[in-house]
Each structure stands twice: as structure tokens, then as C-alpha cells.
Structure 1
Amino acid sequence: MTTVYDFKPKLADDSEFPMEQLRGKVMLIANTASKCGFTPQYNGLEHIHRQFKTRGLEVMAFPCNQFGSQEPGNAEEIGAFCEKNYGVSFPLFAKIDVNGDGADPLFRFLKKEAPGLLGSKAIKWNFTKFLVRRDGSVFKRYAPQTRPEEMISDIEALLAE
């Protein structure tokens, strides 16, 4: 697999989502959790989604319970929480693992293409974010503490390519 377009992650309703349908879009992909200190970043993700969607940005959230069991709910509970508390209108995917033997294939690819600090492939915490170019290649990984608003200049640069 050479680009994100080769993957078909599952949406919250367990249906496949062929990433191929986003060919030509810039993507912001994050592993998320509802009970994390970084959870308020959903506000920033939603703001960016609304600000740049018409220019070709797709924001995608992948709930993960691997870090401090901070995403204990099922898909329906996660969706209701995100909509009620943050007005999330971008896609929420099925809950996944991002590390270990059971890591989702998309996240294995993202980690390989954009290693973390000191070349680490592991995701360290919730709200690690990946920005993907229109050609499906990974542009950059962002640390959990990087707020979505701090990514705007990179997003604008990729949208202009």
C-alpha cells in the first residue's frame, strides 16, 4: 500500500469507507477520545472542518481506547457525545487500536510514513494528528498537544498545491 487511498477503514456504523473516494482532497486524520485532557480539540477540528471543507479538506476522527481507557463508549455513545458537546459534523469512524498487533492498517501506514519524535512509530497519546496531501501521501504528524488551529498554515499550503 502506497497512499491512504489504498485503505477502507470502517465508519461508526461498521460500513467500509473507501479512502479512494477522497482522492484529490487534503485530509486531517486524528485518533481521538471523549474523556481525555485533549478532548476540547474537537472544537478546533470542527472549526477547521467548517472553515476549509469547501476548499477540499476532509477531517476524520478515529476513536481509540488504548490510552488510559479514555474512550470507553460504543459508537453510538461516542457519536452522541461529540455531536452534543462539540457539534462534530465530520466523519467519526469505528473505534480502533492505533498501536500493537491489532493496529488499524491505515494507522500502521500513517505511522510508517510519518514517524514521531526520534523516529518512533508508536502513537504516544490521543489526538495525534496526520495531515495528508491531495496525492494521498502523508505530509506531517502532529503531537497530541498541537492544537488544530496551529496547523492552519500547513493546511492552507496543502490546499494551495
Structure 2
Amino acid sequence: MKKLLSYLSVLTILIFSNCQGQQNVTTAVKTSKTESMKQNIYQFKVQDLSGNSFDFVSLKGKKILVVNTASKCGLTPQYKDLEALYKKYKDKNFCIVGFPANNFAAQEPGTNEEISTFCQKNYGVTFPMMAKVSVKGSDMCEVYKFLTEKSKNGLQDSEVEWNFQKYLINEKGELEHVIAPRVLPTDASITTWIEK
């Protein structure tokens, strides 16, 4: 009887160990699948305000701040801070890419040409500005699908809350942080990230 109990104890331990091993293998496979599905921003080519092709590969090795903009929003003065941030860090492997969007209270009604003129005339914007896109809804552009879907960016699901939401992309083209619209571009949460 003692031998039988001893045998059953050993058998139970072996089965339990095997199950634990299987669980670890399953977890490793799931993690591996998530990693392999994770994308980066370098896969995208878009058009800028002038209609020229803009390839995100050209920003490889730089930190990137992607922001959706609007000309008739209470947050529009952030263009000034964005431009100041760009001028301060553009020679330190940093770039800002703006995407005008009319998704919030129709606050970006202009054409690409009108947006370009507005940005130059009022804020002297020199950072790359892309053609107007949609950043939410059924017609959301591919870049913003990447930025807002965890299955694509590997970090988190998010929703663009309003104009001037900021997405921080690391030197590998991966999403690292999502910054709320009202947080100024000069906030320490952004400048510290650029400088680290």
C-alpha cells in the first residue's frame, strides 16, 4: 500500500510538472505570436499637404511625435509649441508629423492648400504636415489604425479623443506612449522622452 501511495505521489508530481511545462510553452507561443504580429510605422507611405509622397522609412532611427491637428480648435495654438519643439530637437534625431483631420466638430474644414497656408502664415510650421485624413471611424486612415489598435502596434488600444492627441514613436518605429490632447507639446512627459 505504501509503495502504491508513493508511486501515485510521484506520478502526480510528474503530471503536474508536465502541465506546467505545457502552460509555459503555450504562453511562450502566444507571446511570440503577438511579437510577430507587432508592426512598426515604417510600413506606411502617405501624401503630404503638397501631394508629394512621404515615406516613414525616411525617419528610421528617429523618435517621432505623430499628432492630429485642426485649424479652428481651442487647442490650435499648440502649433506654436509643436514648432518650437521641432526646432529645438530636429537635429537630435526627432521629428514631428502632423495629420490634419476634420473628425472633431468640423474644426478642420479647409483644403490641403488652405491648411498649408494657415500653418505657414499663423505659426510658421516647418515640420512635415500630411494631407488631411480621418483619424477615427470607418474611414480611418491606415496610420491611425496602426496607432490605435493593439493588434497592430503591440502596445495598447486607444481612441483619438480630440484634436492634438500625440503618439510617441521610438527609434525602432514602435509606439511607446499616447499623450492626451490637452497635454502641451512642451510638457515634461514629452521632452523627457525625447531627451532620454
**TM-score normalised per structure 2:** 0.75
Cα distance in 1 for residues equivalent to 2:98 and 2:173: 17
Q: Distance in 2 between matches of 1:30 and 1:88?
A: 13
Give the aligned partner of residue 186 of structure 2: 149
Percent identity (aligned): 39
Kindly tell me the number of residue pairs found equivalent between the two proteins. 153
In the other structure, the counterpart of 1:93 is 130
Q: Quote the Cα distance in structure 2 between the aligned partners of 1:128 and 1:23.
A: 22
- What is aligned with 1:20? 57
Q: Which residue number corresponds to residue 51 of structure 1?
A: 88
Q: What amino acid is the match of 1:2?
A: Q
CA distance in structure 1 between the aligned counterparts of 2:98 and 2:135, rounded to whole angstroms: 12
Amino acid at match of 2:191: I
- Give the counterpart letter for 2:53 in structure 1: E
Q: What's the TM-score once normalised by structure 1's chain length?
A: 0.91
Matched residue of 2:75: which SS? coil
1:62-101 matches, cutoff 5 A: 62-101=99-138
Please state how far the C-alpha of 1:13 moved relative to its aligned partner.
Answer: 2.0
Match of 1:122 among 127, 135, 159: 159
Q: Which residues of structure 1 form unaligned runs of 5+?
A: none
- AA partner of residue 104 (structure 1): C
SS of 1:60 mapped into structure 2: strand
2: CA distance between counterparts of 1:23 and 1:125? 28
SS at match of 2:79: helix
Deviates more, 1:57-66 or 1:105-114: 105-114
Name structure 2 gaps, 5 residues minimum: 1-37
In terms of fraction of residues, the more helix-rich structure is 2
- Render the CA deviation track for 1:11-49: whole Å, top value 9, x for unaligned: 112232111111111101100000001000001100010
Letter in 2 for 1:31: N
> How much does 1:50 deviate?
0.2
Shift of 1:59: 0.7
Taking the aligned partners of 2:139 and 2:194, their CA distance within structure 1 comes to: 30
What is the Cα deviation at residue 90 of structure 1? 0.7
Once residues 145 and 50 of structure 2 are traced to their aligned partners in structure 1, the CA distance between those partners, rounded to angstroms, is 22
C-alpha separation between the residues in 1 aligned to 2:83 and 2:120? Answer: 10
Q: Runs of at least 4 residues of structure 1 off by over 4 A? A: none
Distance in structure 1 (CA, Å) of the matches to 2:80 and 2:195:
19
1:90-122 CA-to-partner distances (Å, cap 9, x unmatched) read 11100000011211101110112354xxx5x32
The letter for the 1-side match of 2:142 is: P
SS state at 1:81 partner: helix
